[in-house]
């Protein structure tokens, strides 16, 4: 039993607070991080991370699936994030050190759960950054081509995409089509570009040299900036955020003059199912405030400013997303928005034909993607650093550069972990792992707040989640939600309740697990008078996880199992936690 309890030993919040007050912050060396961030900087970082691919790219496909009603998806996602952000804010006010959800879980759930969420965050940031780097490359090369600068195709995409494109076009050629006919086929453009990349690429030792060079270059540039220092990073971020906000305001104001209310009818052409179809892409846009919490040790006043920065950035970004969604779906029919660059599209040939605005939007998109990459690339090394301080990773990951005051080794490793895969990999099928990983972190943070509150400990904090008794409210809201699903989506529920075919039934597992867990949570709400906001965070984020599909769940669980192997081979035997072991936390 003692061996099991050792896996759940906790870090004392009081000890973390004492170390932070002394400037020790769990660091092993004499060098510490440089405190330079204000609430304005933190808000800017949040906006930098949230306003990126979502508003310049994925918002188009989300609008195509959901119609103008996609605004409700942004609002719902923002509310779900707000519940979690409040819980993050309470932990940030208690634990003013780096580590984000990893450190919060260590103080509430114990070491094993902390390791799991830390390992999860490493995947989340790495895959998220790789996806952003590849997307940035697409925008950048497209922008260059608009000015007549054409980068060779084999230097702008990954090996797998080029190989598949070659195979597809070869198949069409065998069927009797000509290259000229294939080039103008509907929806074949990207495949034809991949074919060109493969056929024009140099061949060394029988291997085609195809790689995404711009993705590699931007990762190296951003990593160098993050390595040099937090002050330089914040200045670059603030400048780029100001530029992209100016462009977004211009889009909203000018676009408002071209809105045709007829485009808003029907408002929800594909119903709730169509709106929720874009949940992964939309949520991916909102995960930026998680990265803010990793900078706690570089804030002038983290316990006061971190909660404010998180909430300010979330509110600002939600308002912008809703306004842009309304403008886009008002300017053109939602049926035309299944494009990769919707803002440039509606102001270009697909909409009001104002090419100069379309060009400005394209430049702003490149800047916006750079800021997302900057914030995420800054967050991941601080997770490595926090885990290393606790002995769960080798000590070198916690090393602070004597001149630049940054976790230098962790930053360099992060650069390689993101740069090399972005050069060669196609991540179309795994980008949802970022969303499921982030939602998992949100769920644990909300649960951690409940555990700390239920412990009855008197812990100093400058912000606390407002308390509303969930005894009756949470079960009532949950019952109303289930009733609404049955009333408005009865056919889907009939399918859900019909069993017999494993290939169909396995896709129901995430929702079945969610309903069972939610039912147990309702029991605790009634018997333990839990705080309503963390409970709503658990319910909303847990539901969003069910929308990501069994395939993503399988990959996610596989990654976590790999992490457990690493933990038991290294982390468990090198843990520096000296506190006496405690029994696993429970709400029972």
Residue among 463, 402, 453, 442 nearest 545 (CA): 442
Confirm whether 452 is domain-assigned.
no
Q: Hey, which of 153-157, 422-426, 428-432, 455-459 has the most confident mean pLDDT?
A: 153-157
Report d(CA 182, CA 338) in Å as an integer: 21
Q: Are residues 265 and 376 in the same domain?
A: yes
Range of the domain at 200: 159-210
Q: Are residues 287 and 193 in the same domain?
A: no
Q: Are residues 48 and 127 in the same domain?
A: yes
Q: Are residues 137 and 278 in the same domain?
A: yes
Mean pLDDT, the chain, rounded, equals 81
Per the CB < 8 A criterion, the answer to whether 112 and 5 are in contact is no
Instruction: Kindly give, in sequence order, each residue whose CB lies less than 8 Å from that of residue 96, ignoring residues fewer than 6 positions away.
Output: 17, 20, 296, 297, 299, 302, 303, 306
Report d(CA 293, CA 570) in Å as an integer: 26
Report d(CA 356, CA 250) in Å as an integer: 12
Burial 11-35 (b: 16+ CB within 10 A, else e): bbbeebbebbeeeebbbeeebebeb
The pLDDT, as a whole number, for residue 188 is 58
Q: Are residues 178 and 235 in the same domain?
A: no
Confirm whether 583 is domain-assigned.
no
Domain boundary among 194, 210, 226: 210
Q: Are residues 289 and 410 in the same domain?
A: yes
pLDDT (mean) for 39-43: 88
- Mapped onto helix, strand or coil, the DSSP state of residue 207 is strand
Confirm whether 64 is domain-assigned.
yes
> Could you tell me the pLDDT band of residue 14, with boundaries at 50, 70 and 90?
confident
Q: Please say if the pLDDT value at position 316 is more than 80.
A: yes
pLDDT (mean) for 333-338: 82
Rg (CA), the chain: 24
Give 212's strand partners: 156
Q: Please say if the pLDDT value at position 409 is more than 90.
A: yes
* Number of structural domains in the chain: 3
Sign (positive/negative) of CA torsion 63, 69, 75, 81?
negative
Per the CB < 8 A criterion, the answer to whether 59 and 323 are in contact is no
Q: Are residues 399 and 472 in the same domain?
A: no
Per the CB < 8 A criterion, the answer to whether 157 and 193 are in contact is yes
Q: Please say if the pLDDT value at position 502 is more than 70.
A: no
Quick: pLDDT tens for 236-271: 888 888 888 888 888 899 888 888 889 888 888 887
Quick: pLDDT tens for 65-117: 888 888 888 888 888 888 888 898 888 888 877 778 888 888 888 889 999 98
Domain boundary among 389, 423, 438: 438
Residues making up the chain, counted from first to last: 588
The pLDDT, as a whole number, for residue 3 is 58
Give 203's strand partners: 208
């Amino acid at each position: 039993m003692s061996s099991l309890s050792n896996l759940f030993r906790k870090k004392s919040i009081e000890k973390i607070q004492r170390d932070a007050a002394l400037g020790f912050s769990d660091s092993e060396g004499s060098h510490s991080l440089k405190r330079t961030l204000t609430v304005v900087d933190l808000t800017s970082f949040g906006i930098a991370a949230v306003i990126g691919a979502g508003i310049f790219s994925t918002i188009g496909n989300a609008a195509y699936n959901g119609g103008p009603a996609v605004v409700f998806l942004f609002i719902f996602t923002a509310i779900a994030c707000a519940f979690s952000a409040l819980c993050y804010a309470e932990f940030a006010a208690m634990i003013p050190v780096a580590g984000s959800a990893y450190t919060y879980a260590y103080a509430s759930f114990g070491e094993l759960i902390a390791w799991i969420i830390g390992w999860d965050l490493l995947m989340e940031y790495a895959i998220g950054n790789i996806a952003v780097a590849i997307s940035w490359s697409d925008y950048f090369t497209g922008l260059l081509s608009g000015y007549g600068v054409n980068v060779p195709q084999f230097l702008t995409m990954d090996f797998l995409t080029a190989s598949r494109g070659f195979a597809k076009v070869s198949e069409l050629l065998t069927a009797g089509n000509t290259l000229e006919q294939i080039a103008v086929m509907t929806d074949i453009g990207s495949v034809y570009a991949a074919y060109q990349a493969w056929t024009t690429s140099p061949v060394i030792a029988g291997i085609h040299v195809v790689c995404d060079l711009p993705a590699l270059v931007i990762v190296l540039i951003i990593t160098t900036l993050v390595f040099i220092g937090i002050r330089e990073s914040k200045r670059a971020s603030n400048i780029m955020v100001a530029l992209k906000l100016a462009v977004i305001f211009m889009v909203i104001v000018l676009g408002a003059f071209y809105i045709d209310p007829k485009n808003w009818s029907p408002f929800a052409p594909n119903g709730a199912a169509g709106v929720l179809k874009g949940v992964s892409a939309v949520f991916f846009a909102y995960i930026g405030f998680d990265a803010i919490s990793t900078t706690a040790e570089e804030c002038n006043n983290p316990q006061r400013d971190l909660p404010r920065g998180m909430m300010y950035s979330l509110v600002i970004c939600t308002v912008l997303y809703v306004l842009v969604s309304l403008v886009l779906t008002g300017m053109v029919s939602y049926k035309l928005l299944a494009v990769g660059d919707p803002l440039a599209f509606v102001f270009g040939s697909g909409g009001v034909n104002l090419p100069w605005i379309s060009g400005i939007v394209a430049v702003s998109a490149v800047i916006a993607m750079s800021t997302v990459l900057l914030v995420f690339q800054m967050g991941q090394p601080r997770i490595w650093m926090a885990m290393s301080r606790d002995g769960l990773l080798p000590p070198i990951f916690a090393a602070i550069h004597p001149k630049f005051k940054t976790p230098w080794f962790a930053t360099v490793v992060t650069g390689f972990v993101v740069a090399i895969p972005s050069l060669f990999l196609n991540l179309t099928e795994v980008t949802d792992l970022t969303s499921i990983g982030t939602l998992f972190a949100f769920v644990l943070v909300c649960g951690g707040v409940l555990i700390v509150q239920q412990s009855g400990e008197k812990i100093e904090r400058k912000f606390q989640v407002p308390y509303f008794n969930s005894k009756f409210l949470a079960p009532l809201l949950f019952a109303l939600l289930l009733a609404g699903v049955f009333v408005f989506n009865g056919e889907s529920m009939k399918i859900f309740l019909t069993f017999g075919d494993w290939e169909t039934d396995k896709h129901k597992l995430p929702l079945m697990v969610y309903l069972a867990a939610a039912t147990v949570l309702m029991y605790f709400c009634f018997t333990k008078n839990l705080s309503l906001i963390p409970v709503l965070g658990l319910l909303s984020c847990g539901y969003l996880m069910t929308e990501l599909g069994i395939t993503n769940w399988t990959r996610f669980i596989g990654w976590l199992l790999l992490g457990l192997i690493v933990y038991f081979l290294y982390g468990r035997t090198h843990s520096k936690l000296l506190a006496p072991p405690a029994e696993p936390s429970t709400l029972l």
